[in-house]
Amino acid sequence: MKQQLLTALIAAIALPCAAQAADPVSTEVEIAGPLKGTLLRPAGVKAPPVVVILAGSGPTDRDGNNPLGVRGATYRLLAEGLAAEGIASLRVDKRGMFASKAAAADPNRVLIDDLAVDARAWAAKARAETGAPCAWLAGHSEGSLVALVAAQKPDGVCGLILLSGGGRKLGTILREQLQANPANAPILPQALPAIDALEGGRHADTAGMHPALLPLFHPSVQDFLINAMAKDPALLAAAYRGPVLILQGSTDIQVSLADANLLKSAQPKATLTVLDGVNHLLKAAPAERAANIATYANPDLPLAPAVVPAVAGFIKAHPGTN
């Protein structure tokens, strides 16, 4: 009886250990540029599906953080969640920034087209490292535009995951944001013609421009703005024939549900998933602005529970492309 009891106790202690999955394997990887990133793959899975995570605008690093107060680590958390689902990921530092700083003398001169070329190169690296036949492109915010541009040359791309991605052209969004704030009324006579010029492929004259507008229209970023404003996310989505997931939070105060609906209307075969109470960083958050933004600086706040299952489930639902 004592021997049976001892055996049962040993088994009870051992079972939790046996049930634990091995930790995912993290590897630093590099491609020509030099561009650098982190490959996270589930342990013991041969040729897992793989996702390249493309960052949003500005100085946002491979983990989803930036020095402007965003410390939510959205991309790292997404990568870890996908690894637990048996899906590998490659999250990267953009050309000219962070560990990829040496790849561009001036990151402000890096265009959406350049980032799209890099995205395709990262997809090729992801395939080579994992043995997967293709790679998914998961773009967050501005990264969704990069993914859409990259996928216009679809070889080696499984499909697109558009996370909090805009559905309208950048010029339209800038006009809306500037006009929505009554306090901007005095600067609109300068701002709106500047947007018109950039949309027309011309540089805007900043001589005598109001100081509040200079960060937006500084000459150093105008080439980027001209390139970005020429892109229409809806038209790009309509032209892509592979599987597309549009993931949009209902309390996103940066990108609206209207944008997600525009993408869906442009590409009716896409899957639109709206997550209730989820913000731009894919975290649970109220609609109230101050509380919503407070989540941006909280590295301990996990992704909203529905995010990883939505992404992983979509990828697994398209096994023929993996």
Q: Give the tokens for residue 232.
A: 């229409």
Give the DSSP letter string of 56-117.
Answer: -SSS--TTS-BTTTB---HHHHHHHHHHHTT-EEEEEPPTTSGGGGGG-S-GGG--HHHHHH
pLDDT of 176? 87
Please give the average per-residue pLDDT across 137-163, as a whole number. 98
Please give the average per-residue pLDDT across 139-152, as a whole number. 98
pTM above 0.95, yes or no: no
Residue spans per domain, the chain = 22-168+232-321, 171-226
Q: Per-residue pLDDT for 20 more than 70?
A: no
pLDDT of 320? 62
pLDDT of 181? 86
Q: Per-residue pLDDT for 234 more than 60?
A: yes
Please give the average per-residue pLDDT across 271-290, as a whole number. 98
pLDDT of 14? 43
Q: Per-residue pLDDT for 19 more than 50?
A: no
> Domain 22-168+232-321: which CATH class?
alpha beta
Q: Per-residue pLDDT for 211 more than 90?
A: yes
pLDDT of 18? 41
- Which is it for strands 157-163 and 135-140: parallel, antiparallel or unpaired? parallel
pLDDT of 29? 98
Q: Give the tokens for residue 290.
A: 């101050």
- Which is it for strands 88-92 and 35-41: parallel, antiparallel or unpaired? antiparallel
**Closest to 99 in 3D by CA, of 130, 129, 61:** 61
